[in-house]
Structures are given as C-alpha cells and as structure tokens.
Structure 1
C-alpha cells in the first residue's frame, strides 16, 4: 500500500475514501444479517455495497486514477445496475414496463467497452498518438452510463405504486446520488481534459452519503415520511440565509480587493460598514422574522400551523400554576400566541346579557366603555360562533351580519384585528379581541378552525373557574348563614323578653314616673330589635309590595347632611325624581356608597351626587376623583362577599348595597378608571312608570322568557 499523499486535497480524499469504504462495509454486513427479510434490493444490495467498499479502499490505496480502482469502479457500476434491475423485478416491472432489459444490456455493454479502453490505455506508452482519443472516450462512456442509469432510477421511482414507492424512496435517492455525482465528475473531466483533483477527492464521501440513505431506507424510519418540524425548518432556512449572506460578503470583499490602490481599502471599509448597519437594522426585525415564518409555513408545509407545538404551548400558557397572570389574562395570551398578536382584550358576559371588559393583556391604550357590546352581539356570536375579521368589517364586507352588531369603538380602532368567541355548550362565555400581528395578513380557513377549537376549550376553562368560585362563595355563605341564624335566634329571644317586660310593667308598676320612663325605654329597644330582625330577614326577598314613593333628592340631601362634617359632599344636580323604594334602605345604600367614595378620595377632593331621571328610571350618581379601580377588580372582586380592601373589613358592604337595590327592583352600575376615580349609579323605577313596568313584567310572553334564558 502506498504512503499517504502530502497534498491537502489528496490527503482529504484518502480519508474520504476510507470513511466511505468503512460505511459501505458496515452496511453490507448489516444487510447480510437481515438477508432473510424483505429489504429493497435483497442480496444484490449486499454485493453492491461490498464491491463499493472494495473500490473505496483501492482508491485510497492506489489513488482514484489507478487501473485497479478504475476496474473496480466498473464492477461497482454493474453491481448497482443489478440492484436497479432487482428492484424492477421485485414487482414484475422488468418485463412489462418499457424496454428495461435492452437498456440494462446496453449499459452493461458500455461498461465492458469502458474496461477495454482502460486496458488499452494501460498498454500504450506515454505520448502515443491515440492516447488523447482513448482519454476522451474513457471519459464519455461513464457519462453515457450515468445518464442511462439515472433514467432507469427515474422510471423505477415514478412508476411505483404508492406503497412500493415508500419502500424504495431512500434506495432510489442513494442510487441517484451515485450517478449524479459521476455525471458531473466525468463531464468536468471531459471538458478540462483532466480529472479534477477536488472532485476526485470528494468521491469517497458519496459512498458515505449513500450508505446513510440506504441505512435509513432499510431501517424503521423508512416506514415514516420525512417531515421536519417547523422549528427545524425555520432554523435551517435561517442558517441557509446566513450562509448565503456570508458567501455574498466574502465574494463582494474579494471583488473589491481587485480595485487596488487606495480605492480598494476605502471601498471595503464602506462596504463592511453599510452591510453591518443593514444587518443590525434588518435582521432583528420582528416583521422580517414574521415574514420568514409565514413564508416557510406557506411553502414548506401542507398546513400553516404545527398543531402539536401549538397545543403544547397552549396548555403551558393556560395551565401554568406559578404564573403571576390571572386566568383571564392567560386566556388572552393563549389565543394571541397562535396568531402572533402582541396584545388583546377579554370581554365576558354580564348579568344583563351585555359584554363588558374583564381583562387586558398588554393593551392599555384602548378605551373600552362600560358596556363593550350589547345583547345583539351576544346573540350573534352564540348563534353562529363566527370569528370576525375586523379588516373585512371595515371594508364593508358582512358575511353573517356582523357589521350591524359590532360597536363603533372596536371597528374604529385600527389596532383591533379579530374577534374570537368563547362558546361553552352553545352559551357565549366571552370574546377575545386580538390586535394586529407585526406581519399583517388575512385570516384563512386554518386560522378559523384552530381559533374556534381553542375558543371552545378556553370557554370550558372559564366556565369551570366560575363554577369553582361559585362553590367557594356558596360554602362561605353557608357558614355566614349558620352564624347569622344563631344571632337572629338570640336577638329574637331578647326582643320577646323585652316586649314581655314592657307589658308586665304596664300592669304592675306603681310609680307612674318610673313606669313611664321604663315604658319608653323598653318600647324603643323593642322597636330597634324588631327593625334589625326585619333588615336581616329581607336580603334576597321580593319587597315590591312594601315599596313606597320616595323623593330621591330629599334622601340625597339627608345623606349629605349626615356626612358633611366628615368630608365635602356636593349635590351637583337635583332634578325632580320620585322613585319607588324604601326610604331607610335607599338612605343606607347611599350612605355606604358615599362613605366608600370619601375613603377613596383625597381630603381636599369633594364627592359629588347627581339626581336625574331618564325614561322609566331615576338615577342617583355618586362620583369621586379618587384612586379608582381596575376592570379586573370591578368585574371579579368588588361585588363578591368576604373580599375587602380595608383592614378589618368584612367585605360584604358593596354586595349588600347591590342586593338592597335589587330588592327595590333597581340596579347598581359601576364605571371606574384607575387613577381617575369611580362612578356608582343607582337606578330605580320612577313612580310614574311603576304601573307600566309591573304590567310589562306580568305580560312577558313565554317566547321572550325562553330567549332571555338562552342568552343568560
């Protein structure tokens, strides 16, 4: 065996042929152990790998241009041709599909002639006149063989059935790799009239590459299609772009070096500076990364989304127990991550069938009104479950009538991009409003399908969360009711004793003065205790038959008079407003609301009251410019019992106020902004409209009730 050559390319070629021969020998041994299985090529494949291993070792020992290596290269080609014929014969196509046998025979003849030319060239002396002719023919015959062999491989793969094609896919790729490289190698040899040293040194790697393909084809991986993940494809594309960028930079810098003189270095410095600035500006761009991601998903994959990766990310986002974000914000983030939206809103259904703001995620600039969407929008989303593309709405295209139900504040904000309904058992739990992604695009069917499924899953999470909160509140109420039952029992006994004592004193007291004082004291105590019992007993009860005419302005002034020593309270408007209510209860509600406004305000900031009438209802507004409340607190904590922001508070004041207003057939609404203040609005039926409202309630049709039940 000759010594290892000193030339760099020849040294590399020596190692490449050794590595390729070793890989083919290992794969041939593995094929021999698996010869009883139905592998593509069978024994012919094992023989071809063994011959290829011998050719590689001879090429490493004697050089790729030596006569022994050239003879074994011919044997290698004939053995791989036998593999192709064996694959045709596997399903009987060697006899019934085209001139397979004549083409194989012609290629065998070409290789025999090639052997003859090689032997003839070995006998000729240096400088012989026929040496150039023989060299060109010796280079032309491998080109002819490679072209014919590639035609056979093409017909082998294209003509296979679906199941057979999957079995020979990798084998056909390995065969094609052998002869594509030979075609290019001998074409260059024929054109430059000498074997290229670089390409000759790389021929050994072809055996290594082909061995890898055949190993995959004969292994278990052949049963599965090659489908890289989106991350791998995107990173590979990024590496390809970086590689092209580096090659372009090197080529440009090398070209600039030919300018010579002072112009060359100056041009190189300017070029490097310009390209560096462009790289720093363009490469970190989120828009560019988004464009690349969409392009890869559109052209390299059958589907836009990697559903496995999307679902894993979705479950991690929603199910994180250690997250600092509340569930409502995680719901928005889970939907926004799918479409690469940077922010969003969650609107959930309120008690009166409207949608109001429940949470924000990275979107603080948009101003959402107290009633974000009305009942028509709720019915629209419940009926169709339609995902709204707001760009289509802005252009005037309405597929399901969405243009007529979406509010103006949402359509006019150009940042709003899509509205995704969250539906649980045909009931709308809420909607998620998404902002426009960095790379704007139009929503398609795949977006709609994935967002619809995700919306249903998130709706179930929100419904389960609400159910757990309701169970927790119910358990707290049960404990609270048990305690109050004992208190009421004791108070009732005390009231009975005091009442009995008062009656006995009327009969047996001899001192008129003592008797008079005792009677007054006992009577007052009994009245207070009975009033307390009545107040504790009426929560949640329907008190319509005990409501009277009340002057709302007079009640407001009495509340102001009772608190004016504590803080400045101003009555801004005092329209004539006579409502149906209970005076003491209304005064209790207003006192509580004004006291809360005082606690939230600075010492020099007055609290304002407004009494107005509008349509069928009268309104009493309590307005402050204090610290305000977040939408999450108003939605989820303000009216929840046992939740208090005050030290030592029992957390039932706001809940009690709302329940008392409801008992008077009214409603309590809240509008608040953090840092700006709050507005509490007590709405009660006007005296003039009481009979009309009662007639409307008694005359409600079953159809309307069923509709309201569906909305609720």
Structure 2
C-alpha cells in the first residue's frame, strides 16, 4: 500500500499546487484570500512530504509530515475562524482559542511521540491530538454553516461539505489508530486522494464568494464534460461489477450473460451520451446547483452573436435557433409582417408550416407591442389573470409543443415574434431567463430590421434602375418625336420637292430603326448592338444627316484624312453625339453657327468637337449642375442627355470636356481612344461597320 500512498499523496500535492497557482493568479488582495492561499500552500507541502515518506519510510520525514499536518490544520482553522468573524457582529473568542490549543497539542504530542517517551502507552498522544483536530474542525464547520443565513448558505455549502468530509475521514482514520495503537495503512494511504477530491468543492465556494477577493471561475463546458465523463465512468464501473457478479454466480450461462450485459450497457451509454434531452437535463442540473448564475453570459452572448452573424441567406432560421438554444428548445417559428400587413410564418425550425396569419391590431399583437412581455403558454393556461386582457389566438392555442412567445421589438413598432417549442428537459423560467431573452430579442430584432432595410434598398434600386432606363427611353422618344414634328411642319411647303421626299423617307427609316432599338432595350434589358469598330467620320455624317431639316444647318468639318475607328456601340455613340448637337441647335438662333468637327487628338486618340455661337452657360452651372441628371436650362428639356453622354464616354475610356461663355457660345469636346484590330478580336461579334 505504500506505492498507493506514494501516488495518492503525489497526486494530491500536484492538485493543491495547481489550485494554489490558480488561486494566486486570481487573488485581488484581502485577508480571507491570503489565509486561503496559506492553507492551500500548507496542504501542498504536507501532501508532498507524505508522498516522500511513503516512498522512503524515513522516520524524520514522518516527523516532518506531522509538523506540516499541524501547520495545515492551523491554516484551515484560521480560515474558518476568519469566516466566522465576518458573519457575526460580536464573534465569540472560544473557536480561535480552541483551535490554537489543538494545534499546539498536535505539535507537542508529535514531539513526545518522536522522543519515544510514550512508546509503552497503549494510547499514543499523537493519535489523540489528531483525533481532536478532526473533532474541532467539525465543530468549526458546523458553527460556520449554522451562522450563515439560510438564503446565503448556497455560497458556503461546498466549502462546508469539503472540509467536513475531510475531517470525517480524519476522524475515522485516527479513531481507529487511537483504539488499536497504530494507523491502518490502507486508510492512511487513501488519505491524500480523499483530500485531493475535495479541492473542486473549495474552488466552487471561492467562485461563489467574491468577498474572499479570490475571483475564481469555472468553465461551464469543462464542468459539463467532466461531469459527463465521471458519470460515464461510474456507470461503466457498475456495469462491470454487475457483469463480474453474473459471471461468478451464473454457472454455465455466466460468460454469455456477462457479455450480453456489457454490450447492452454500452449501447445504453451511447444512447444517453447522444441524447439531446439527457444532455439538456444534465446542463440544467449543473447550472442550477453549481453556479451562482444560470448562464455564462460572455459565452452565451458570443455564441448568440456568432449564430446571427453567420446566418448567410437564412437569417430567420438563425434567429429561431439562437433564441431556442438559450432555453434548450429544439426549435420554433418566426412570424413577420407579410405584404398584406398581417403577421405570418416567415421561417420555421422543427415545426410544421402554417398558412394562418394574425392581424396587427389583435389583442395578442397589441399585448406584445405595448407590454413587450414574454408569454409562457403554460403559465397563461394556469394563471390567465396575470396577463390581463390578453386573448390568445386560436391557431396558437392548438399549436403543438408551443411553449414561449418572444416578441421582437425593434426601434419602432412590433417587428414580429418567435414561438418556441417546449424544451427537451424540464426548464424553469425565472427572472434570469426572461432578462436574457429580452436582451437577445432586441439584438435579433436589430438584425431583422437591417435585413428588411437591405431588401427594401435592393427593391428601390431595381425601381431606380427601371425609372432611369425609362427616362432615357422617354428622352430618345422626345428627340424622335421632334424630328417627325419638324418633318410634318416642313411638309406643307416642300411636299412636292423630290429631295424633301427623299429626306422624309430617310428620316422615317431612321426613326423606325431607333424605335426598334428602344423596344429591344426594354424587352431584352440590354443593348441591341455589341461594341464594334466604328468609323467616327461616318457616325458624324449620320448625325448631320439626321439634323438636316433644322436651322441653323450643322456644318461638318473633317480634319482627319481617311477613316478613324473607335470601339463603341453604334446606336449609343450616334445618340450621344446627336444629344450634344441637338443641345447646340436648341441654344443657337437660326442665323447662328453650329459645327461638328472630327479632329486628331493626342497619340492614339480622336476628338469629336461640337461648337456653337448660342447663349452659352454660366460657370456655376457648368461646375455644379451640368453633369447631374434632371438638371437643364431648357424649359422643355429633361436634363439627362449630358448625364448619359458622360456615363457612356467614361464607359468606353473617353473624356468629356465643356468650355462655355455666356452670350458667346459653347464648345463640347469628346475625346475617345482609337480602336485597333487587336482589341476588336478580343471582343466577340465585332466587325467594322461604315454608316
């Protein structure tokens, strides 16, 4: 047994050392914490000396063990006496005096025993002194437990159980030694392990008593898994013992029955370990009996926030799961406003779908909106008067497993609510659960509000895109109608002129082509023509030809020899140049000048320049309003021609520049990069076109 004693006291020394280091790091000052640290240190040294004695059997080490045991006893006595003084306004002096006498008696009796003076006595004084320390220790623990108010005993109860159990073990050990004049080696060998097993209870009391200023905390997950592991080990030991008994007394069937029992036990253990209901029951039990609060708020909040942040595209289910995990619920349903303004099921988790809806002005919704209470359906059925005028809707009363209704109240009115299913294990609803759910629902409501705002923004952007496209189409139609109106106006005077008739046919064909292009854009939601290499001179000629019936006549100046190609959409490039030319015509009197020039720019560039001698534009309009949509100086204009022009010129890598002076005219320069055959080959369906 000395080998068992060596390992037992060695493990106790390691356990006390770890506990002492942790307590020292958590110490925030104060006499109670310092005394506790002293008791832990003395216990560690005592266990270490006992392990050394078990290994060497040296009489001097036995004496050292006795001295350190007395020091350890005195340290724990001092801690208990200090706690007794904190719970009484007029503490009695006898506990401290009695504790001091016992410690002195331990040291004196040990000295007598080591000197051999009491060798002939059947009742060795050292055993009597150690027996007295156990009895006095139990008295101090009993005084502490009785002195603490009943409402506060939960905080001190683990310490009293730990020290009381240790003193009971010592009482048995040294009572046996006093009766027989020697220690039972087996009992003494197990003393170290017995005291080491009490450390978690002492740590638990340290975590429950901040006044000790030793801020200890235990991981709930670690406690949960450790408890599950310990219970599993105990279960396997019981199964093994039962199997051994069956094999020993089962005769011919013993071996078969033992294997059957072991296999069935392992299957049952696996079912229990993977059972969500059993895990929930264990978690509730540990939170209720081992911790001052039911929740580890830091971990719960991190987990809740992570669940909402990682929702992906299904935020509704994530909200249900995050709220359900707080109360061990397997699922539920989320109800939000639908297009009709009623609350309907938006998402569900482990719950059948439902087509019912609830009016926003019903008694149920008004109660959730104004009171913001979490409704316990079980409590409502037992005590409906607590909920005032609340009337549950029929669909909720018949919903299977419905347990809690959690309102989702955002920054404004009621956003929705979550119906949670009954938990896997019995779950008590108290103030702590209600406060946590209320805080969590506001966080969830904030996420849902942002989701709805994002969806509304996307829908608004789609409408904005549609409205912008419609504005461009209306702008083009206005220009086409203007061409047809001008043609009809001139038809009264020139309808018999063959040249006018030819121009009229070309204008109608041009309008028909443009109308088809606009219809294609509306139906296909894309540009009809792909980008291709275009001859800018031919595009300029087409623009001048389309404006031929207007005054002043547009003068085309080709300052580049040969063709000049750019990579663009033919319809769009012709349209934006036509916008600029039309603006120049609108701003210029009939006797003024409007010119369209195609000139060479910097290396690899080409410039399209439109100049007029019209009214010009003010500098502040050029600087602040010209390129913004729906800004114009014309009474009948829409203000999107220049905006579209700048957008498209930038899209194909060009630049747009305006130079204007009030009363003298305007010059608009479109600077574009020249196209080449290499870039054309990189774009599918490209081919050079002329006109």
Query: Normalising by the residue count of structure 1, what TM-score does the alignment of the two structures yield?
Result: 0.55
Query: What is the rounded CA distance, in whole Å, between the counterparts of 2:129 and 2:437 in structure 1?
Result: 61
Q: Does 1:485 align with 2:485?
A: no
Residue 410 of structure 1, aligned match among 393, 396, 403:
396
Residue 436 of structure 2, aligned match among 447, 450, 463:
450
Query: What is the rounded CA distance, in whole Å, between the counterparts of 1:15 and 1:356 in structure 2?
Result: 66
Q: Is the 8 A contact 1:388 1:402 kept in 2?
A: no
Aligned to 2:230, what secondary structure does the other structure show? helix
2:308 alignment partner in structure 1: 318
1:255 alignment partner in structure 2: 245
Residue 59 of structure 1, aligned match among 31, 44, 53:
53
2:97 alignment partner in structure 1: 101
Q: Does 1:356 align with 2:344?
A: yes
Aligned residue pairs, count: 494
Residues 90-169 of structure 1 aligned to structure 2 (within 5 Å): 97-98=93-94, 100-101=96-97, 104-105=100-101, 108-109=104-105, 112=108, 115-116=111-112, 119=115, 124=120, 133-134=122-123, 139-152=127-140
Query: What is the rounded CA distance, in whole Å, between the counterparts of 2:386 and 2:67 in structure 1?
Result: 69
TM-fit CA distance, 1:155: 5.5
Aligned to 1:346, what secondary structure does the other structure show? strand
Structure 2 gap ranges (5+): 523-691
Query: What is the rounded CA distance, in whole Å, between the counterparts of 1:457 and 1:310 in structure 2?
Result: 13
Aligned to 1:404, what secondary structure does the other structure show? coil
Task: Specify whether residues 281 and 20 from structure 1 end up closer, same or farther in structure 2 by C-alpha distance, changes over 3 A only.
Answer: closer
Deviation sequence 1:262-290 (CA, Å, 0-9, x none): 25335434533543454354443322222
Q: Is the 8 A contact 1:74 1:115 kept in 2?
A: no
Q: Does 1:290 align with 2:284?
A: no
Deviation sequence 1:438-462 (CA, Å, 0-9, x none): 3365644333322222221122222
Residue 338 of structure 1, aligned match among 326, 330, 333:
326
Query: What is the rounded CA distance, in whole Å, between the counterparts of 2:450 and 2:426 in structure 1?
Result: 34
2:480 alignment partner in structure 1: 494
Q: Is the 8 A contact 1:234 1:293 kept in 2?
A: yes
Residues 223-242 of structure 1 aligned to structure 2 (within 5 Å): 223-242=213-232
Deviation sequence 1:361-381 (CA, Å, 0-9, x none): 454x32323x44443244332
Query: What is the rounded CA distance, in whole Å, between the counterparts of 2:218 and 2:118 in structure 1?
Result: 50
Q: Is the 8 A contact 2:157 2:205 kept in 1?
A: yes
Structure 1 gap ranges (5+): 1-8, 125-130, 537-712
Query: What is the rounded CA distance, in whole Å, between the counterparts of 1:228 and 1:400 in structure 2?
Result: 39
Query: Normalising by the residue count of structure 2, what TM-score does the alignment of the two structures yield?
Result: 0.56
Query: What is the rounded CA distance, in whole Å, between the counterparts of 1:276 and 1:12 in structure 2?
Result: 30
Query: What is the rounded CA distance, in whole Å, between the counterparts of 2:414 and 2:373 in structure 1?
Result: 11
CA RMSD in angstroms, aligned pairs only: 5.6
1:271 alignment partner in structure 2: 261
2:425 alignment partner in structure 1: 439
Task: Specify whether residues 339 and 170 from structure 1 end up closer, same or farther in structure 2 by C-alpha distance, changes over 3 A only.
Answer: closer
Structure having the higher Rg? 2
1:423 alignment partner in structure 2: 409
Q: Is the 8 A contact 1:380 1:405 kept in 2?
A: no
Query: What is the rounded CA distance, in whole Å, between the counterparts of 2:493 and 2:294 in structure 1?
Result: 93
Range with bigger deviation, 408-417 or 44-53: 44-53
Query: What is the rounded CA distance, in whole Å, between the counterparts of 1:47 and 1:318 in structure 2?
Result: 46
Deviation sequence 1:52-75 (CA, Å, 0-9, x none): 4895477347627x5x45544553
Residue 470 of structure 1, aligned match among 456, 461, 466:
456
Q: Is the 8 A contact 1:84 1:153 kept in 2?
A: no
Query: What is the rounded CA distance, in whole Å, between the counterparts of 1:303 and 1:119 in structure 2?
Result: 54
TM-fit CA distance, 1:245: 0.8
